[in-house]
């Protein structure tokens, strides 16, 4: 059964790894005292999400989002909500359940470059639950993602959601799971008023096989689709798109706008 979370579109009812060399140097890997997962104010599924890193810029770091005392995965790898500017440079963030990286609240700016985000979703295997987003900007946060490799995500590679949210993605790659009956993935999503740009970026292997139109006619299941780039209730003209490569997606670009009143 597919459950929907408030922010994420499960693509749309009927209308709708290769590494680029951005991994941090092992000689610069994060060496710290053991740390727990820390509670944040971001709530999903009726509980505050926990994070491994909170409002700390990362340079040449490998963040494995696991509580060092319990061994349990954190909900978020790196979390930013302090209304200030932060950055993630030449770093990898992985191992979380809900988000690898999330920036939220107006005034918060996050620039991520030459990095990677991966292995985000339910453990030990991904499920059809509508979470597991590698990189998210929400609630008016702004920033950029450049030269970044994103893969092994449960739901979306990237999501920008909500009015005031603005993100520029360039020269990056979002690599989905390929044909899967488990969940309708999207590579990049702009939704509910979020704007920005996607340029020089690859979005590939987002194919949902759980219920096709033909299956729906025969069994009554609800059909969904996946997209390389999903635009949902955001102004498509305000999302610059050029020099992108789309491969093996149900829809390369899917633009869905809710009917007006």
Range of the domain at 56: 12-256
Overall average pLDDT of the 62-68 stretch: 97
**Whole-number pLDDT of residue 212:** 85
Of all residues in the chain, the percent with pLDDT exceeding 70 is 87
- Say if residues 161 and 191 touch (Cβ distance below 8 Å): yes
3 within some domain: no
What are the structure tokens assigned to 212, written together?
């096709």
4 within some domain: no
d(CA 31, CA 25): 13
Of all residues in the chain, the percent with pLDDT exceeding 90 is 85
- Give the start-end residues of each E strand in 139-201: 142-146, 149-153, 156-161, 166-170, 173-180, 186-191, 195-199
Between 77 and 24, the more confident residue is 77
239 within some domain: yes
7 within some domain: no
Q: Is the peptide bond before 103 cis (omega within 30 degrees of 0)?
A: no
204 within some domain: yes
Whether the pLDDT of residue 255 is over 60: the answer is: yes
Q: In CATH, what number is assigned to the domain containing residue 185?
A: 2.160.20
| Residues 245-256: b if buried by 16+ CB within 10 A, e if exposed | ebeebbbbbbbb
53 within some domain: yes
**Whole-number pLDDT of residue 213:** 85
261 within some domain: no
**Whole-number pLDDT of residue 261:** 64
**Whole-number pLDDT of residue 4:** 41
pLDDT digits (tens, 9 = 90+) for 85-113: 999 999 999 999 999 999 999 999 999 99
Q: Is the pTM higher than 0.75?
A: yes
208 within some domain: yes
pLDDT digits (tens, 9 = 90+) for 2-42: 444 444 454 444 334 333 444 444 444 554 679 999 999 99
Domain count, the chain: 1
Whether the pLDDT of residue 81 is over 80: the answer is: yes
């Amino acid at each position: 059964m597919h459950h929907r979370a408030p922010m994420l579109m499960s693509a749309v009812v009927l209308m709708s790894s290769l590494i680029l060399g951005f991994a941090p140097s092992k000689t610069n890997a994060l060496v710290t005292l053991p740390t727990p997962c820390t509670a944040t104010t971001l709530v999903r599924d009726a509980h505050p999400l926990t994070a491994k890193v909170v409002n700390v810029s990362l340079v040449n770091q490998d963040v494995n989002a696991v509580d060092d005392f319990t061994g349990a995965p954190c909900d978020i790898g790196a979390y930013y909500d302090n209304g200030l500017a932060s950055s993630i440079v030449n770093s990898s963030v992985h191992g979380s359940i809900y988000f690898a990286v999330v920036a939220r609240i107006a005034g918060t700016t996050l620039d991520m470059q030459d990095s990677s985000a991966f292995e985000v979703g339910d453990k030990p295997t991904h499920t059809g639950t509508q979470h597991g987003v590698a990189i998210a900007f929400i609630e008016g946060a702004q920033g950029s993602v450049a030269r970044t490799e994103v893969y092994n995500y449960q739901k979306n590679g990237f999501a920008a959601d909500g009015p005031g949210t603005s993100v520029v993605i360039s020269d990056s790659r979002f690599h989905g799971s390929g044909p899967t009956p488990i969940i309708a993935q999207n590579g990049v999503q702009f939704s509910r008023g979020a704007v920005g740009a996607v340029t020089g970026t690859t979005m590939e292997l987002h194919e949902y096989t759980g219920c096709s139109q033909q299956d729906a006619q025969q069994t009554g299941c609800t059909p969904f689709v996946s997209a390389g780039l999903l635009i949902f209730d955001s102004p498509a003209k305000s999302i610059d798109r050029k020099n992108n490569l789309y491969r093996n997606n149900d829809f390369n670009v899917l633009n869905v706008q809710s009917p007006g009143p």
